[in-house]
Amino acid sequence: MNLRRDVFQAIADPTRRSILMLVAAQSMTAGAIASNFDTARPTVSKHLQILTECELLRSEQNGREIIYHLNPTKMKEIADFIEPFRQMWDDRFNKLESVMKAYQKGN
């Protein structure tokens, strides 16, 4: 049974978020990515596999090397999904700030 990977579970892992940050700055090979971590290379490969299955990264064969690129379209989908929640919390914090300022003026 082939289960689809959940993109939010993928980005919940701090190592995978770090990999995304690295590749966002510059496309890299698996070896270059692995050199940034104190874990075994197969562990980093598994993280890359998960990120690729979630379509957060794209892989490109270049001779014997595979170069990983960030998939900005998928990242935008995530950002678009999260945006209403961010706006809701911004509104709530702005209201709280107004209440706190009014309370401080009253004292």
Average pLDDT, the chain: 92
Q: In total, how many domains does the chain have? A: 1
Segment 46-52 shows an average pLDDT of: 96
Residue 1 clears pLDDT 80, i.e. is over it = no
CB atoms within 10 A of CB 51: 27
Task: Note whether residue 11 is domain-resident.
Answer: yes
Task: Give the range of the structural domain holding residue 12, as residue numbers without chain letter.
Answer: 7-105
Per-residue pLDDT tens over the stretch 69-100: 999 999 999 999 999 999 999 999 999 999 99
Residue 76 CA, distance from chain mean position? 11
Task: Note whether residue 2 is domain-resident.
Answer: no
Q: Is the pTM of this model over 0.85?
A: no
* CATH number, domain with residue 15: 1.10.10.10
CA–CA gap between residue 87 and residue 82 (Å, rounded): 9
